[in-house]
Amino acid sequence: MLVQAALVAIVAFLASVDEQLFGASMMGRPLFTGMLVGAIMGDVATGVTVGAALEAMFMGSIMVGSAVPPEVYASSTLSIAIAINAGTGAGSAVALALPLSVFLQMWRNFCYAVPGSWAGAQIQAAIEARNLKKANLLHLAVVPLSLGLPSALLVFASLYFGADGINSALNAIPQVVLDGFNVAAGVLSCVGLALLIKIMSNNKILPYLFLGFIAVVYLQMDVIGVAVAGLCFALIAVSNMKFDEEEDF
């Protein structure tokens, strides 16, 4: 059991740092980690089946702009392992993955807000001092390790000591700490929206951003409706554009 727990924790670590180290290769998605966890625990079929169920649930869980989705990587890895170990199938995995993903996303928000902000300042200073080795080391170490190591330890402790032990540890976290995570999540959303506005700070493009904001906040449109409306606006804008033949050539 010790070896299995350690190997599954390694899978959770690699899945958690996928976006930071491997360029969003998608190897951290449940459909992929389910196969690995199943192979480690001797039941590939169940691992793939449960991974597919979680993938269907988290299919649209992608960070876009200021939207912060639940954590998919370590939460899915742990849920798949527990489902295989308990023999309860995809139902229990889905029930466990959602609350665990919300908690781990709060931790990721904290890592982006605190270690990530510190690392960004240090990287900027290193670049100004022309110390690229230090900048690369900070870029490849601070945020990935702060995300990956706690996730791996959580998965290992949950599998090795059982779910009761990890639930007791989570319940022991002071409410003020959880409130701090919530505040950090809100701040990150504001920062993400500000960065988006900065990128789109063009008089011809910026109105579309505010139209999307009005559609979501005041018209209560869902994401699909806003996306379709955005596509229509884009098609209208392109069809009304006038090109010079020489410029086209």
Closest CA relative to residue 157, chosen from 87, 95, 74, 91: 74
Q: Supply the pLDDT for residue 156.
A: 85
Separation CA 146–CA 21 (nearest Å) = 13
Residue 67's beta-bridge partner residues?
64
Instruction: Give the pLDDT of residue 165.
Output: 59
Q: Output Rg (C-alpha) for the chain, integer angstroms.
A: 22
Instruction: Return the pLDDT at 78.
Output: 83
61 Rama class: left (phi>0) / alpha (psi -120 to 50) / beta: beta
Residue/partner pairs of 156-161 with CB below 8 Å, 24 or more apart: 156/5, 156/6, 156/8, 156/9, 158/78, 158/82, 159/1, 159/4, 159/5, 159/8, 159/9, 159/78, 159/81, 159/82, 159/85, 160/1, 160/2, 160/5
pLDDT in tens, the chain (249 residues): 788 888 888 998 888 888 778 877 888 888 888 899 889 988 888 888 888 888 877 776 666 655 566 778 888 888 888 888 777 666 666 666 667 777 777 777 777 778 888 888 898 898 988 998 888 888 888 878 888 888 888 888 878 776 565 556 556 767 776 676 566 555 655 665 666 666 666 777 778 878 888 888 888 888 888 889 989 988 888 888 766 655 554
The count of other CB atoms within 10 Å of the CB of residue 171 is 7
